[in-house]
Structure 1
Amino acid sequence: MFLEKIKSGESGVLLYGITPPKAGTTPERVAEIAQKTIERLAALDIDALVVYDVQDESARTTEERPFPFLNALDPLVFASGYLDTLTIPKIIYRPAGKFSSIELADWLETLHAHQFYPVFVGVPAPDFPVKTSLQEAYAIWSKHRDTSVIGAVTIPERHNVLNDEDVRILDKMNCGVSYFISQCVFNLDYAKQVIDDLSSRCNRQQISPPTIIFTLTACGSAKTLHFMEWLGIHVPDELKDELKKSDDILEKSVNVCLDIASALTTFCVERSIPFGFNIESVAIRKAEIEASIYLANEIGQMLKDKGVRKSLTGGTSEATNDLPNNIRYVS
């Protein structure tokens, strides 16, 4: 299971990421959305479900946000109150700095009671007032370290600029972090550089590396592509042009993600870095969500074919060669 895989450094971890419904949604509608989510994910062979905490990052950049920001329901409330029949572990994001140490300790107790796992993230903007530092948050969590695991984020784009992501990763490892979920990967070279530098640093220091889980997402429109770039995801110019000129941008992006997943699998295996993938849909359009489900199935099968993942059910799943018809030709 997820806990054991992370603690043992087993590769082939597969996650799926969602955002909760927007705040103010009626309980009836939230239950409806939750039921659809459960139905979509019930047949997926995944190790855990990631539930994001949506933050307004508008202060991070002067560029206008492509989509309006909408507050979302608390991810812990949504996961515990509406997704309880989905019997897989839940990973809950939390911007630790927005809460006092007492609030964070209480939240962690509730999280632990549900056997969920935390990922602490930073505040939405550099000048945001911090109530609890990440180091303090990790210290508060440490009482659960024997029966839990804690994650953090890694950003390949940041490494390309500052060249210190490997140092950041090891610093967080020293605080108890054992796995890292990346920002969406569309620049393969950036992701490879993080892995290469992390592998070299771990070898020099003779320490076991943490698990790196790469996030991948389908892109179904030029507007979604613009939004991903607004979020800080780097899409190489050549790939950006290919996506925009493609007859079917959604299908093209899915194939790009599959190629990236295959390349990163080989790269991590060669460097003995435990790894996995987290599949999400940035947009809420049905076609893009269904494409993300297809992507999760295909990557899961690829990992099994390469011998780095065992099926949770003990068998193997059937992989299809084509996107479903209702995904392929959606405008």
Structure 2
Amino acid sequence: MKQDLRTKFADSSRGVYLFGTTPPKNGTTEEATSEIADKLLQRLEHVEFDGLIVYDIQDESSRIDKPRPFPFMQTLDPRAYSKLLREKAERPVITYKSVSQRDEESFVQWLDEAWNEYGVRDTVLVGSPSSEGEIKLSLNDAYSVIADHQADFQLGGVTIAERHAAKGNEHERLVSKSAQGCEFFVSQAVYNAQATIDMLSSYARSCRENGTEPKRVILTFTPCGSTKTLEFMEWLGISVPEATRFRIMDAHSPLQESIRICRNNLEQILEAVLPLGVPIGLNIESLTNRKEEIDASIRLFKLLKSIVDLKLAEAEL
């Protein structure tokens, strides 16, 4: 196994580079699941990545009135897919867990199994997508449960710049989640650079005032190759400024244009945030299973990684 993520996250002089994926849909055979994992890792064969993220996909229709652009499908247990990828890739895997559907006892059982049976060491807990419906376990309560658990998980949290743009307090959530045990944060996909800059600048300022070190923030980027993908991004709550939307929709190659936009957004964010001492990482994902978007996500990974590496090297001079 390559160096663990905890060690890498702690080294603020370097970037951390992850690739996000979802488990295959429920009912996929063991053989087919293994083939899907192999295909992903073949794509990543010539990419220097530190680890993978496996998401816990939820039906978020309670969060928004609009119909979901792509149908929701239950997936295999993220823990099982994480274990498979970790064994095949020989790299660490961060496993997401949505906590609202289980009571405390079930969540403790999930943690026991995750650690002992599936070898999960790094996890990101996610709360309910909305306040509608029954919430059996709040995110705050889940943080308390994992803090009291005997296993030494490296705990991460989600950060959403769009919430900061709307309410101006996402940096306070980061500080609070850090106090509850979060060692790193993964952002929602970035298409609004200014919202991310504002959030991270406020976070750095709060840390300075509190005399604490900012935690690692892993910025998520995803390519967008069609109007349907764009609709899905907006359905997920990703902020896409109007001019950016037009640039993608009207481009000769929407995919290439989206990659240019992601590069430009990353450069703006690094310019503003690296001097503030917030350690940055990258997470690249494809929001669809379209081959051209998955291939584009690999190109995007290589491009954005080279930019972060260069900026960090310049900062060392």
Equivalent residue number for residue 204 of structure 2: 199
- Offset at 1:210? 1.2
Q: Distance in 2 between matches of 1:172 and 1:107?
A: 21
* Residue from 208, 211, 219 that aligns with 2:213: 208
Q: Distance in 2 between matches of 1:30 and 1:152?
A: 27
Equivalent residue number for residue 312 of structure 2: 307
Equivalent residue number for residue 256 of structure 2: 251
Q: Distance in 2 between matches of 1:131 and 1:53?
A: 17
- Which segment drifts farther, 67-76 or 120-129? 120-129
SS in 1 for 2:300: helix
SS in 2 for 1:16: strand
Residues 30-68 of structure 1: per-residue CA shift (max 9 Å, x gap): 222111112122332112100000100111111121111
Equivalent residue number for residue 292 of structure 1: 297
Equivalent residue number for residue 75 of structure 1: 78
1:11–1:211 CA contact under 8 A, matched in 2: no
* Residue from 238, 241, 257 that aligns with 2:243: 238
- Offset at 1:250? 0.3
Provide the aligned length of Structure 1 versus Structure 2.
309
Q: Distance in 2 between matches of 1:285 and 1:184?
A: 18
Percent sequence identity over aligned pairs: 34
Structure 2 CA distance for partners of 1:150 and 1:97, relative to 1, 3 Å: same
Q: Distance in 2 between matches of 1:111 and 1:226?
A: 34
Q: Distance in 2 between matches of 1:268 and 1:109?
A: 38
Q: Distance in 2 between matches of 1:62 and 1:239?
A: 24
| Residue correspondence of structure 1 range 1-331 to structure 2 within 5 A | 1=3, 2-81=5-84, 84-113=87-116, 114-143=119-148, 147-308=152-313
Residues 161-187 of structure 1: per-residue CA shift (max 9 Å, x gap): 111101111111110101110111000
Q: Distance in 2 between matches of 1:9 and 1:31?
A: 35
Structure 2 CA distance for partners of 1:82 and 1:17, relative to 1, 3 Å: closer
- Offset at 1:158? 0.8
- Which segment drifts farther, 268-277 or 280-289? 268-277
Structure 2 CA distance for partners of 1:215 and 1:308, relative to 1, 3 Å: farther
- Which segment drifts farther, 276-285 or 39-48? 39-48
Q: Distance in 2 between matches of 1:17 and 1:10?
A: 23
Structure 1, unmatched stretches of 5+, are: 310-331
2:51–2:93 CA contact under 8 A, matched in 1: yes
- Offset at 1:115? 4.4
Residues 213-265 of structure 1: per-residue CA shift (max 9 Å, x gap): 11000001111011101111111101111111100000000111112222222
Equivalent residue number for residue 323 of structure 1: none
Structure 2 CA distance for partners of 1:170 and 1:82, relative to 1, 3 Å: closer
- Offset at 1:134? 1.8
Q: Distance in 2 between matches of 1:255 and 1:223?
A: 19
Instruction: Using structure 2 for the length normalisation, give the TM-score.
Output: 0.92
Structure 2 CA distance for partners of 1:258 and 1:49, relative to 1, 3 Å: same
SS in 2 for 1:98: coil
Residues 265-316 of structure 1: per-residue CA shift (max 9 Å, x gap): 222211111111110001111110011011111222222222359xxxxxxx
- Offset at 1:143? 5.0
Q: Distance in 2 between matches of 1:11 and 1:128?
A: 42
Q: Distance in 2 between matches of 1:22 and 1:141?
A: 28
2:226–2:255 CA contact under 8 A, matched in 1: yes
Q: Residue 219 of structure 2 aligns to which amino acid in structure 1? A: F
Structure 2 CA distance for partners of 1:191 and 1:179, relative to 1, 3 Å: same
Q: Residue 270 of structure 1 aligns to which amino acid in structure 2? A: P
Q: Distance in 1 between matches of 2:243 and 2:15?
A: 30
1:12–1:308 CA contact under 8 A, matched in 2: no
What value does the CA root-mean-square deviation take over the aligned residues?
A: 1.9
Structure 2, unmatched stretches of 5+, are: none
Instruction: Using structure 1 for the length normalisation, give the TM-score.
Output: 0.88
SS in 2 for 1:306: helix
Q: Residue 246 of structure 1 aligns to which amino acid in structure 2? A: A
SS in 2 for 1:197: helix
Equivalent residue number for residue 313 of structure 1: none
